[in-house]
Amino acid sequence: MANMENEPVLRTKGISKSFFDPVENKVLKDVTFQIERGSFCSIVGKSGCGKSTLLYILSTMDTDFEGELYLDGQSLRGLSNMELARVRNEKIGFVFQFHYLLDEFTVLKNVILPGIKLGKLTKEQLEHEAMGLLKIMGVDDQAMKKPNQLSGGQKQRIAIARALINKPVIIMGDEPTGNLDKKNTEIVFEIFKELSQERKQSLLVVTHDDDFARRTDRIIEMEDGRIIKS
Amino acid sequence: MKLFLILDVALGFLMARLRQSIVAAVGVTFGVAMFIALVSFMSGLNDLLDGLILNRTPHIRFYNEIKPSASQPVNRSLLFQDAENFIRSVKPKDQGKEIYNSKAILQALKSDPTVIDVAPKAATQVFFNTGVIEIAGIVNGVDIQAEEKLFRFSDYVLEGDINDISNSSNSIFIGKGIADKLLVDIGDVIQVTTPKGDISSLKVAGIFQFGLAEIDNSTSYASLATVQKLLVKPASYITDIQIKLTDIKNAPATAFALSKEFGVDAVDIQTANSQFETGSKVRTIISYAVGITLLIVAGFGIYNILNMLIYEKMDSIAILKATGFSGRDVQGVFILLSLIIGIAGGLSGLLFGLGLTALIDNIPFETPSLPTIKTYPIVYSGVYYVIGITFAMVTTFFAGLFPARKASKLDPVTIIRGK
Ligand SMILES: Nc1ncnc2c1ncn2[C@@H]1O[C@H](COP(=O)(O)OP(=O)(O)O)[C@@H](O)[C@H]1O
Ligand SMILES: [Mg+2]
């Protein structure tokens, strides 16, 4: 594990995936790339070119593909569903286009839930941690509210706090600003930028906002299931 | 720690659908309560109906059966010993109904530790007469103290003091049916004719009612001495010996053994009353079947709410999985949810069941044929409560298992994409 620092946080080799619906539709074709530790990357491409499909594979939620996937130096091939759940819990923070918060729990509880699942910190430590994250996101005053009382921009910031609670090796986002207005998009971008610069947090974000992409460290461009430029 | 987390999530989902969850729990409550009330009541009824007969029946009765001799003379002849002997038109031999050597048998039984008590009896058929009316019946000559101890005779006495039977000779307690037919009351004198034609006058000292018309219309009780005098027999004349054992289950085996030992016929309570056991069994089966059906219906209620909840909470399930909850965790959440509903519903079902049985227990139920019964009969037994809650738990577990497995298999990608 000595060379861990040099090992890219995420690495793929020849990832391909087809849907059979009802005829074969090859959505990903031999996708090979890697993400260096601490870099802020964006994936762009036309709608339907396979960005989301790739991201679900990278986040271990979709295991039905060909090729190799290494996360944090570890091959994810052949891991059981339980082990993959553990990997997602510990190493990946996911931010979706829609916020997917649990309306039955408070904001604070939503943020610490993956942390309780991980079980490394006590509830009190997690709450302390979560309050710190909410403060960075500028929504610490909403901690005791239920998510359905908040605006879309606030919800997305809470989702980012939740993605960060277990100090993941990488944050993935599938059009995290796709559903936000210009002002909130700006806020979310600034948060990502800050995480990248100050915490050396690795980020991989799918977006169709060219302006957003242009301001990231690296743009990966996809077309028809292939990476054409990166 | 992990269970805590799963419980936490389960409770969160529960609170989101509190009303429906309560409705589902009430279904379980209803099922458990009805099950307990039904089984307690049916058992009470069983005991009552069995008691009607079984309390009146000795565990073992010794008597002399009228039957042909077991060994006919031809079999004893050395000449025909190796032959197959056919004998037609064998007639029973009248050895009389008297149990010989009764004193020794009584003594032996009284010192047996597995025997609770022994009641000797000298019974005979008679005609009761007043004026021109004749009613066929039976006089039981009994030791009234033993009779009281074994069969609680005084429970069934409507009028009169049972001690009068032994205190004053020529007293008789008659069944209510006889009293009504003969139009006699306490203090009146009735004529009794034995099969041999002897006529005696007996004074009615009391009237009883067992609640079984057949007995109340034909039976009477007097002291042993009175009946022996009636039949012109010595003081050792006894036709039946009735005993109760410490454990009723041993009756058949004990009856067989003692019958051999004393050389008299014996019949045990199980053989004499096999039909009652069948009746009790059927009633028990019916009450269990109804109770279990109710619980299964309640189980469907839980199944429904969980399915609805899973459909509603699809997004939450997807996000739990995306943030690292495994399929098994999600399954645990929904099974726990179902068990919470089951436990809450089941426990309140126990309370309501107890309340319902207590209520039934206080409903007046007075019938002339059952003088000691004042309210509907109820058996209180912890076993029914244990069965009730266990079955509620098992039903809710399975009701929850199928939706929970469905939830555990939900693919988060499909849900997240579906937006
Ligand atoms: N479950 C599915 N079954 C069949 N085809 C699918 C399924 N999901 C996605 N696709 C197809 O895969 C292609 C890529 O989809 P997606 O990865 O969502 O594109 P993007 O996110 O780049 O817009 C599309 O042509 C889409 O129709
Ligand atoms: Mg997409």
3-state secondary structure A143-164: CCCCHHHCCHHHHHHHHHHHHH
Give the ligand whose atoms come closest to the C-alpha of residue A47: 1
Q: Is residue B259 domain-shared with residue B321, that is, in the same domain? A: no
Q: How many CA atoms lie within 13 A of B70 on its CB side?
A: 3
CB contact under 8 A, B322 and A94: yes
Burial of A66 (0-12, 13-18, 19+ CB in 10 A): exposed
Residue B414 Cα: closest atom of ligand 1: 1
Q: What is the pLDDT of residue B174?
A: 93
Task: Tell whether ligand 1 has an atom less than 6 A from the beta carbon of residue A50.
Answer: yes
Beta carbons of B325 and A101 less than 8 Å apart: no
| pLDDT tens profile B15-59 | 888 888 898 899 889 888 988 998 899 888 888 877 777 777 888
Query: Which residues of B sit within 8 Å Cβ distance of A?
Result: 1-2, 5, 8-9, 12-13, 15-16, 315-316, 318-329, 412-413, 416-417, 419
Choosing from B271, B289, B308, the residue where a domain stops is B271
Q: Based on the domain organization, do B261 and B136 belong to the same domain?
A: yes
Count of Cβ atoms closer than 10 Å to residue B355 Cβ: 13
Could you say which of B240, B271, B302 is where a domain stops?
Answer: B271
pLDDT at residue A1 above 80?
Answer: no
Give the tens place of pLDDT for each residue, B295-344: 788 788 778 878 888 888 888 888 999 998 999 999 999 999 889 999 99
Give pLDDT, residue B291: 77
More confident residue, B98 or B124: B124
How many helical (H) and strand (E) elements, i.e. helices and strands, does chain B have? 16, 10
pLDDT at B98 over 90: no
Q: Domain count of chain B?
A: 2
For the cut 70, the answer to whether the pLDDT of residue A4 exceeds it is: no
Residues B265 and B287 in one domain: no
CA dihedral B52, B54, B56, B58 (to 10 degrees): 180
Q: Which of B207, B242, B271 is the C-terminal boundary of a domain?
A: B271
CB contact under 8 A, B416 and A102: no
- Please report the pLDDT score of residue B294 as a whole number: 80
Chain A and chain B share a number of CB contacts under 8 A equal to 74
Same domain, B50 and B120: no
Question: Are residues B99 and B247 both part of a single domain?
Answer: yes
CA B25 to each of CA A156, B19, B256, B302, B391: distance values in angstroms, whole numbers, following the listed order:
37, 10, 54, 8, 14
User: What is the domain range of residue B106?
Assistant: 60-64+95-271
Residue type, B292: I
Q: How far apart are CA A113 and CA A109, in angstroms?
A: 6
pLDDT in tens, A87-115: 999 999 999 888 689 988 999 999 999 99
The gap between the terminal CA atoms of chain B, to the nearest Å, is 33
ipTM higher than threshold 0.95: no
Mean pLDDT value of segment B398-414: 87
pLDDT of amino acid A2: 42
Q: Mind listing the pLDDT tens digit for each residue in B175-231? A: 999 999 888 899 999 999 998 888 999 999 999 988 788 889 999 999 999 999 988
Closest residue to A102, CB basis, from B12, B324, B417: B12
Q: Output the six-digit token pair for A57.
A: 């594979």
The secondary structure of A39-107, three-state, reads CEEEEEECCCCCHHHHHHHHCCCCCCCEEEEEECCEECCCCCHHHHHHHHHHHEEEECCCCCCCCCCCH
Where are the domains positioned within chain A?
10-229
- Please give the average per-residue pLDDT across A211-230, as a whole number: 89
* pLDDT on residue B419: 55
> Does the reported pTM lie above 0.95?
no
pLDDT at res. B97: 77
Nearest to B40 by CA among B394, B291, B220, B221: B291
Sign of the alpha-carbon dihedral angle for B377, B381, B383, B386? positive
Distance B37 CA to ligand 2 centre (A): 59
- Residues of chain B positioned with their CB less than 8 A from the CB of A105: 12
**Assigned domain for B239 exists:** yes
Q: What is the DSSP letter of A220?
A: E
Reported as a pLDDT band with limits 50, 70 and 90, residue A131 is very high
* Average pLDDT, rounded, for chain B: 86
- Residue B295 sits in the same domain as residue B413: yes
- CA–CA dist B144, A208 (Å, integer): 104
Q: By mean pLDDT, which of A183-187, B142-146, B308-312 is the weakest?
A: B308-312
**For A10-229, CATH number?**
3.40.50.300
| Residue at B353 is within a domain | yes
Q: In the prediction, which pLDDT does B95 show?
A: 62
For B317, name the nearest residue in chain A, comparing CA atoms only.
A102
Q: Which of B395, B397, B299, B351 is nearest to B33 (CA)?
A: B351
Yes or no, beta carbons of A61 and B13 under 8 Å apart: no
Q: Which of A71, A105, A122, A167 is the mutation pick for testing B, counting most B CBs within 10 A?
A: A105
Contact indicator for B349, B390 with CB cutoff of 8 Å: no
Are B41 and B10 in a shared domain? Answer: yes
pLDDT at residue A5 in the model: 62
**CB proximity list for B390: less than 8 A, separation 6 or greater:** none
Comparing B84 with B359, the larger pLDDT belongs to B359
* A222 bridge partner residues: A45, A227
SS3 B210: coil
B10 & B29 share domain = yes
